[in-house]
Amino acid sequence: MHKRVTSFGIERTTMYKLEPDKVSEDEFYLLFNGSLFMPFSKPPLLGTRNFCMETFWNASNPAGVTLPLVCFSTPLEEAGTRYIGATVSRRSMRRRFAWYSAYAVFLPVLLLIVTITMDLSPAVPSTYLKPNFGVKGCWFKTDQAALPYFYGPVAVILLSNLVIFLLTSRAFAKHHNKLKDVSPLDLNHSDFSTSDDWMRLGTVLGQPLPVHQHDRSPTQEPLINFNQRLKKYKKIFRTCCLLSIIMGLSWVLEVVSWAAGAGTAVVSVWSVFDLINALQGVVIFAIYVLQQPVRSFESR
């Protein structure tokens, strides 16, 4: 949390920011009646109309919490067989999206409530490890406080996302290896196992394609179309790998920089990784929007 207090002065003709961490005479206390007491200023007491206080809560945890949602449905569907040979209904997809949204919102809100309670509630003993936002800056007062309220949850999320990504990669490799040497003629006369692999390969990457096309002859579906499907799947998988590395690596480096003591003498080194983390949106835009098919569609 970041607290910033701006005083307008008694005549409201001047405006300045109180920074007690930089200027000792800017020390201030917010009273229960809403007034601001400044022992080294004249007048020392300001009413509610003579100052402005802004409070900002860090919102990085929701971004980290949503990382596993990209891959979570894949091992879930891989573990069961009820999706084989059938399509997922729109109602089921909406229900699943509602659960994912509730998860992505509930955990950050829960962590926020716990953090606010620990930081501001007078019922919490001072011996407990409190976040102490805004005491020395726009972040936690100590690195020890950042562990349970930020970096600890982020590390758990990153670990779970890594496990899910490995399960997804294993599923893709398993079914892709079985299908890469299959011809369209083999597919039309295949047993359920081959069709199973083809269906699951589409499920892994979220873009299932029709398996059985017995109403067409093999000549209507040339080998090049079959290979194009596999190439398309491989391209999607490469994009997923690149996206996972970009999103995951930046957060891993964020945790590593904290563990290595960023904020001391090596702060300039880790600032580069902070910049990379801040540019995630630009990189994701480049991955999804600047692809050749999207650029070709835009140029029409």
- Quick one: 227 and 254 in the same domain? yes
HSE value, Cβ hemisphere, 13 Å, CA-based, for 95:
5
> Looking at the structure, do residues 172 and 89 belong to the same domain, yes or no?
yes
Phi/psi region, residue 86 (left: phi>0; alpha: psi -120 to 50; beta: rest), is: beta
In a domain, 7, yes or no: yes
Residue 135 resides in a domain: no
Residues 7 and 46 in one domain: yes
Token pair for residue 106? 């509930």
Asked if residue 213 has pLDDT above 50, the reply is no
What domain count does the chain have?
2
Distance CA 204, CA 75 (A): 8
Most confident of 135-139, 153-157, 226-230, 261-265: 153-157
Q: With 50 as the cut, is the pLDDT of residue 96 above it? A: yes
Query: Which structural domain, as residue segments, surrounds residue 107?
Result: 60-130+140-299
What integer pLDDT is reported at residue 163 of this predicted model?
Answer: 83
Among 11, 28, 56, the domain-final residue is 56
DSSP string, 78-147: HH-STTTTSPPPHHHHHHHHHHHHHHHHHHHHHHHHHHHHHHH-TTS-TTS----TTSSSSS-SSHHHHI
Q: Are residues 43 and 171 in the same domain?
A: no
Q: Residue 251: is its pLDDT beyond 70? A: yes
Give pLDDT, residue 83.
37
- Mean pLDDT of the 54-68 span: 55
Question: Which of 43-52, 116-125, 262-271 has the least mean pLDDT?
Answer: 262-271
pTM, two decimal places: 0.57
pLDDT band at 183 (very low <50, low <70, confident <90, very high): low
Same domain, 292 and 206: yes
Quickly state the pLDDT bin for 278 (edges 50, 70, 90). confident
Quick one: 45 and 76 in the same domain? no
* pLDDT per position as a tens digit, 282-292: 877 887 777 66
Greatest mean pLDDT among 151-165, 181-195, 241-255: 151-165
Q: What share of the chain is helix, strand, coil (3-state, %, to 5)?
A: 60, 5, 35
Residue 65 domain-assigned (yes or no): yes
Is residue 123, in this structure, part of any structural domain at all?
yes
pLDDT at 63 over 60: no
Is the domain of 43 the same as that of 181?
no
Asked whether residue 189 falls in the same domain as residue 232, the answer is yes
